[in-house]
C-alpha cells in the first residue's frame, strides 16, 4: 500500500480554492510542486498567471504543463511530496479544445491511472461549473458535462473532497477513522 492522500478541491471562480490548496500544501510539511495547467493566450490570462505566481512561495517547484498531466504526476509524486494541480478545468479545456489532437477519454484514463499510483499528497483544484445556468451552446454543454463527470469520478477516488465557497472550505468527504 502506498502512502498517499488525494484531495479534490472544488469551487467557483474566485471562491478561494487555490488559496485553500496552497495553505494545505504549506501545512503538509512536504516538498511542494505546483503543477500549473494554464496557458497564457491573452494579456488578461497572463496577468492572472503572474498574480498566482507572486502569491506562491518562491521555494516551491513550478511545472507548467497544459496537457501531459498524468506523466507529470508519475514523475514527481513521491512519498515526501505534495503536488498541487491547478486547475483541472483548464486542463480539460486544453484537452478538449486545444490545437493538439488529444483523445479525452485516454487522457482521463491516464490521469486516473497516475493518481492510483501516486504517493505523498496530491491536491487537485478544479472549478465547479455545474451549479449555474445550463449553457445554450453544444460546445459549452459538452464542457460542463465532461467537467461534471470528471469531478464525480475524482470524488470517488479521492480520500477527501472539499468545496470552497466565499473562502470557506466545506468538507464533503473525508477519510473515516477506524
Q: Which residues are catalytic?
A: 52
- Cα–Cα nearest to 1, from 69, 80, 79, 111: 79
C-alpha distances (whole Å) from 94 to each of 99, 101, 142, 168 are: 8, 10, 14, 29
> b/e map of 99-112 (b: 16 or more CB within 10 Å)?
eeeeeeeebbebbe
Q: How far is CA 104 from the centre of its chain?
A: 16
- The SS3 assignment for 17 reads helix
Report the length, in residues, of the chain: 178
Residue 131: other Cβ atoms inside 10 A: 9
Cα–Cα distance measured from residue 123 to residue 108, given in angstroms and rounded to the nearest whole number:
17
Amino acid at each position: 500500500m502506498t502512502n498517499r492522500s488525494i484531495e479534490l478541491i472544488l469551487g467557483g471562480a474566485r471562491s478561494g480554492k487555490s488559496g485553500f490548496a496552497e495553505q494545505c500544501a504549506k501545512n503538509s510539511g512536504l516538498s511542494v510542486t505546483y503543477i500549473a495547467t494554464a496557458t497564457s493566450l491573452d494579456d488578461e490570462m497572463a496577468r492572472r498567471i503572474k498574480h498566482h505566481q507572486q502569491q506562491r512561495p518562491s521555494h516551491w517547484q513550478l511545472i507548467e504543463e497544459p496537457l501531459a498531466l498524468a506523466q507529470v504526476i508519475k514523475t514527481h509524486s513521491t512519498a515526501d511530496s505534495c503536488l498541487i494541480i491547478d486547475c483541472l478545468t483548464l486542463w480539460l479545456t486544453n484537452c478538449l479544445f486545444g490545437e493538439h489532437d488529444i483523445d479525452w477519454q485516454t487522457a482521463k484514463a491516464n490521469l486516473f491511472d497516475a493518481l492510483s499510483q501516486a504517493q505523498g499528497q496530491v491536491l487537485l483544484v478544479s472549478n465547479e461549473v455545474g451549479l449555474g445556468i445550463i449553457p445554450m451552446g453544444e460546445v459549452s454543454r459538452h464542457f460542463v458535462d465532461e467537467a461534471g463527470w470528471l469531478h464525480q469520478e475524482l470524488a470517488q477516488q479521492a480520500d477527501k473532497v472539499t468545496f470552497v465557497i466565499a473562502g470557506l472550505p466545506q468538507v464533503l468527504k473525508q477519510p473515516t477513522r477506524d
